């Protein structure tokens, strides 16, 4: 007789682009127990993290407004190399035009800040169905 293993050892690697420490801590609190996280503080850093980890990364959480390079430009660069990786953009701007611009640049989805536990987990579950909260 085989014992069923009820533990879920699946820990996806999520790349997070966020220049604000408190916003990053919120994201980490929401997903950190179930996901491995690598943090970039600007668009250039997230592009470099993606290039180093593209074979392992399963999603990117991308702030739109960041120093050095914004999330829109970083997403365009990442999309040139990977058309499938879920890129979930986060913005403090709830305007339709901002959402449309993010989607045009290659975002899979756009979440409005402040990010809530429910919204982020629901969104990630759509792209990573094997992730059990």
pLDDT of residue 8: 63
Residue numbers of the domain that contains 92: 13-127
| Pair 31, 39: CB distance under 8 Å | no
* Residue 1, domain member (yes or no): no
In the predicted structure, residue 6 carries a pLDDT above the cut 60: no
Number of folded domains in the chain?
1
What is the mean pLDDT of the segment spanning 20-27?
A: 95
- Identify the CA nearest to 76 among candidates 108, 105, 109: 105
Residues 35-86 pLDDT 10s: 999 999 999 999 999 999 999 999 999 999 999 999 999 999 999 999 999 9
Q: Return the number of other C-beta atoms located less than 10 Å from residue 105's C-beta.
A: 21
The encoded tokens of residue 130 equal 């094997």
Domain membership of residue 22 (yes or no) is yes
- pLDDT value at 21 more than 60: yes
In a domain, residue 3? The reply is no
pLDDT at 2 over 70: no
Name which residue leads in pLDDT, 101 or 94.
Answer: 101
108 is a domain residue:
yes
d(CA 72, CA 94): 15
How does DSSP classify residue 34?
A: T
- Report the pLDDT value the prediction gives residue 7, as an integer from 0 to 100: 52
Tokens 């430009």 appear where? 73
Q: What is the CATH number of the domain that holds 98?
A: 3.40.50.2300
7 part of a folded domain: no
């Amino acid at each position: 007789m085989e014992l069923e293993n009820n533990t879920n050892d699946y820990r996806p690697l999520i790349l997070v682009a966020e220049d604000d420490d408190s916003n990053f801590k919120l994201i980490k609190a929401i997903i950190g127990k179930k996901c491995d996280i690598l943090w970039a503080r600007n668009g250039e850093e997230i592009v470099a993290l993606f290039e180093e980890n593209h074979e392992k990364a399963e999603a990117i959480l991308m702030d739109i407004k960041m120093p050095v390079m914004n999330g829109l430009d970083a997403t365009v660069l990442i999309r040139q190399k990977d058309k499938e990786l879920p890129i979930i953009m986060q913005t403090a701007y709830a305007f339709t035009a901002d959402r449309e611009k993010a989607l045009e640049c290659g975002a899979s989805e756009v979440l409005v800040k402040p990010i809530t536990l429910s919204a982020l987990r629901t969104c990630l579950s759509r792209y990573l169905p094997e992730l059990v909260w």
